[in-house]
Amino acid sequence: MRYIHLFSILAAVLVFQSCISPQKLVERGDYDAAIDQAVRRLAGKKNKKAKFVLALEEAFDKANQQDLAAADRLKQAGRPEFWPRIHNHYEAIRSRQEAVAPLLPLASKEGIKANFRFVRVDGLELEARENAAAFHYTEAQRLLRNAEQGDKLAARRAYTELQRTEAYFANFRDKEGLQRKAHQLGTTHILVKLDNQSNAVLPRALERDIETIRLHDLNSFWNAYHSRPQEGMEYDYEVIMRITQVEVSPGVVNQREYEEFAEVEDGWEYVLDKNGNVAKDSLGNDITQPRFIRVGALVVEQYQTMSAFIGGRLEFYDRRSRSLIDSQPMQAEAVFENYASTFQGDKRALSDQTRRRIGNRPQPFPSGEALLFEAAEQLKPFIKREIAGARRLI
């Protein structure tokens, strides 16, 4: 909402400014806005108004003189860091002159001719472009000397300074080679490894499964994660997945038996009168009624459960200072559950609730290794998320 509000304000300012005449903009000293307004009102018009022609002439002359004076003042200061600003002034002059050039020769319908004093800006702009690029290049070289002493932030700033030369030249001197060097010196290398300190022996396949978290998803331009140490690589940080607890419970079967009974309709029977004879209705027909019997069923329920638990800590170390900088508990549990229900007897005796549970069969218990793999799969997203969140520390 804040951005929408800012956009609305900007749009309102632009609309308001477009309603101001070029002459008013000149009086306010907003010369480039006056030039833009005047050019739009004169371009493509056969009968050009004198007030716009004169406003454009005045704004053009004053804007160029303003930029030339500012560039001269900065040059006289003799400070290399001013060259990018000097270049901006010359670039503004060039852009301004290119905007006006298509209108030339320019005269109003009354015959008033505009006189534009164009500045030979090519040489000035080239000088400024070369010096501005050289300033960023020299600054990058200075920062790289600090980076070679282990200052990664300096290496990253050097990379940015070399990027800034692209505003002036596509490939200034050996910029690309220095950028590769800056990237190499500025990259933080993080080693992620597993340390099993539990009393359990983890299957090697399981250890590899935990170690091979999709670390490449965490890589960024300045951060590189490694699951295996590389020869000759100096690591800045180390993330240790320290496992301290591994438990696999035995498969447990809890069983219970219970009976259910119900009165159910089972055919029909004659209605007897008080003398024990079959009763008759008014038409002389035998009277019958539903017959109910009591039925029962024995229900056998089995609940199977088995679990595997992996617990420990995720520890972050600064390898340069050999200090622990963060530690987070980590744990995951995989649970196997199966509910089986069978019955013996008359199904009609079963309640609706019992009927819904009938049908599942007992299942073979999974292996402990399979459950540990499942727990590891639960653990990996947590580890990955915590490592990603630790960028504030590294």
Task: Give residue 207's pLDDT.
Answer: 86
Q: Looking at residues 74-79, what average pLDDT do you find?
A: 96
- Does the structure show a pLDDT above 60 at 10? no
Length of the chain: 394
Q: CA-CA distance, 375 to 178, in Å (whole number)?
A: 46
- Does the structure show a pLDDT above 50 at 6? no
Task: Give residue 3's pLDDT.
Answer: 45
- Does the structure show a pLDDT above 50 at 13? no
Q: CA-CA distance, 131 to 279, in Å (whole number)?
A: 124
* Token pair in block for residue 77: 């200061």
Supply the DSSP string of 76-90, one letter for each residue: HHT-GGGHHHHHHHH
Q: Which helix (H) or strand (E) holds 206?
A: helix 204-211
Q: Looking at residues 247-256, what average pLDDT do you find?
A: 93
Task: Give residue 14's pLDDT.
Answer: 46
212-231, pLDDT tens digit by residue? 788 888 899 999 999 888 88
pTM of the predicted protein model:
0.72
Q: Looking at residues 175-190, what average pLDDT do you find?
A: 96
Q: CA-CA distance, 309 to 241, in Å (whole number)?
A: 15
- DSSP-assigned beta bridge partners for residue 331: 311
